[in-house]
Structure 1
Amino acid sequence: MTSDPLFLLLAAVMLGVVVILGLGIMNFGKGTEDAAKRSNKFMQWRIAAQFVAVLLILLFLYMRSGG
């Protein structure tokens, strides 16, 4: 499975979601207004990255089922 390029792409996107989430939470903890705006932007990026990850999961499952 680790030699499947789609699986590797999926793993990279999911790792990216975790990194973006961490950056958003760290900025939120600073407490300044500028940090709150940046944190909100990170969370918007996280939603987009999660959408891509879900699509890739569905594609991966479809391809593995013989579709």
Structure 2
Amino acid sequence: MVPVQALRDLFVLGGGCRTTALVTIGPIRFPDTSGVSADTALIAVGGVSASGLSVSNIPEAQMIQEMMDGR
């Protein structure tokens, strides 16, 4: 958990919310967010290997790829 005093601004762009895991997942592209960027992104995956990262959910994988590509 991130302490409340550590947050200045928090923006959540689309998708759904998994309340059990306290995460959002889904599309992050909107017509009016083309100039939006992040200094820091917290990205979690299901597995890490020499060949790459893995998750068990296709929309989550697409969202993570877009975030890592800076789209």
TM-score, normalisation: structure 1: 0.27
> Computing the radius of gyration over CA atoms, which structure comes out larger, 1 or 2?
1
Which structure is higher in strand share?
Answer: 2
Q: TM-score, normalised by structure 2?
A: 0.26
